[in-house]
Amino acid sequence: MSVDEPRAAPCPWHEPVWQALTTRARQPHAFLFAGSPGVGKRQFAEAFADWLLCQQPAGGAVCGQCRSCQLLRAGTHPDRLLVEPEEEGKAIRVDAVRQLADFMAQTAQQGGRKVVILHPAEAMNLNAANALLKSLEEPTAETYLLLVSDQPSRLLPTIRSRCQVLTLTAPAPAQALDWLAQRLPQLSTEEHAALLLMAAGAPLRAVQLQELGATELRARVVEGVKALLKSEKSAPQLADAWSAVPLELLMDWFCDWTLDLLRLKTGALETPVNSDMDKVLPYMAQRVATTTLMEWQGWLLEHRSMVLGKANLNRVLLLETLLLRWKQLMEKR
């Protein structure tokens, strides 16, 4: 848990939501900013925290001159708190939420508001969630709690019901591509589009994928899948070769390919959305039985949910099973 540094502004595609929010006469004490990964929820929450703490906001913008803005810029504002897991992928524990409650109960050191950002909210374990619920039921005056979540359905219904829920969406493809062109000018339009496809339309996620080298990783995975179907590579060989590829990415890619398979099978598509599999997927769609494909999708979605929920899975065993089941799609009719 630490005092967080401010962000300049929300993403441009969230400007209408921002204007509607910052022109309200009164603000609820708790918000839940929800949406897909990489659409800009965290940035929105951080900008809103700065706006709430600014002593002289001008419309939807912070003044940048007051004592609070100076402290925010230095990253030392005592009335702005970030609560997050101690390590990425770990849970937010009850002790952290109890400290949050103590912070909320204190008088603001700058004599104004206090703001807490909790991210990702779904990382709270059950004890932490129950402790947070007590703070939500007994809000402190001039104290604001901003929850940020990729998976709001994993939060307790009683927590969701006590928050003002704002769902933040991805921009239109054209706006996303324009934004990526400014952020990643070294890439071509085709590369921007490929990243955006992998990121399910979320621009910030696309930038993260570029930083991960996802384009190269995906090319390696695609070649491996083709080699698997030709029996040139075995499932154990590929599971070992893909040790550097994040499980979340692998599960997302297989989900994308499966969706293309279903659309091809039903005639909703003539060619795959995922152009790097434009020969493999039509070939598979001609041979896989619909019932087999539906069973596979159910298994895949169940295990993707487990991966996203940070379940303690055996990575090698999971990948070997995934690859064997993928190959068997064309063997079961």
Instruction: Note the pLDDT tens digit of each residue in 10-20.
Output: 999 999 999 99
Summarize the confidence of residues 276-281 as an average pLDDT. 94
Q: What pLDDT sits at residue 331?
A: 74
How many C-beta atoms surround the C-beta of residue 158 within 10 A?
13
Distances (CA, A) of 83 to 48, 119, 236, 305, 315: 16, 6, 40, 24, 29
The answer to whether 133 and 99 have CB atoms below 8 angstroms apart is no
Q: What pLDDT sits at residue 294?
A: 95
pLDDT tens, residue by residue, 101-120: 999 999 999 988 999 999 99
Q: What pLDDT sits at residue 324?
A: 96
pTM of structure: 0.86
Domain chopping of the chain, boundaries: 12-167, 213-329
d(CA 253, CA 204): 18
**Is omega for the bond preceding 120 within 30 degrees of 0, making it cis?**
yes
Tokens 């300049």 sit at which residue? 8
Instruction: Give the single-character DSSP code of 200.
Output: T
Least confident of 3-12, 38-47, 143-152, 305-314: 3-12
Q: What pLDDT sits at residue 4?
A: 38
Q: Which three-class secondary structure state does DSSP give residue 154?
A: helix
Q: What pLDDT sits at residue 2?
A: 38
**CATH number for the domain whose boundaries are 12-167:** 3.40.50.300
The answer to whether 149 and 120 have CB atoms below 8 angstroms apart is yes
Q: What pLDDT sits at residue 245?
A: 95
Following DSSP, what letter does each residue of 62-86 receive, concatenated? --S-SHHHHHHHHT--TTEEEE--S
Using DSSP bridges, classify how beta strands 114-118 and 30-34 pair: parallel, antiparallel or unpaired.
Answer: unpaired
The radius of gyration of the chain from alpha carbons, rounded to an integer in Å, stands at 23
Q: Is the pLDDT score of 167 beyond 90?
A: yes
Q: What pLDDT sits at residue 138?
A: 85
Percentage of the chain beyond pLDDT 70 is 97
**Residue-averaged pLDDT of the chain:** 92
pLDDT band at 3 (very low <50, low <70, confident <90, very high): very low
Fold of 213-329: Zinc Finger, Delta Prime; domain 3 (1.20.272)
Q: What pLDDT sits at residue 87?
A: 86
pLDDT tens, residue by residue, 59-73: 889 998 999 999 999
Q: Is the pLDDT score of 220 beyond 50?
A: yes
What residues contact residue 181 under an 8 Å CB cut-off, 6+ apart? 189, 192
Distances (CA, A) of 245 to 201, 221, 299, 327: 21, 9, 20, 20
What residues contact residue 261 under an 8 Å CB cut-off, 6+ apart? 281, 284, 285, 288, 293
Q: What pLDDT sits at residue 1?
A: 41
Summarize the confidence of residues 318-331 as an average pLDDT. 93
Q: Is the pLDDT score of 5 beyond 50?
A: no
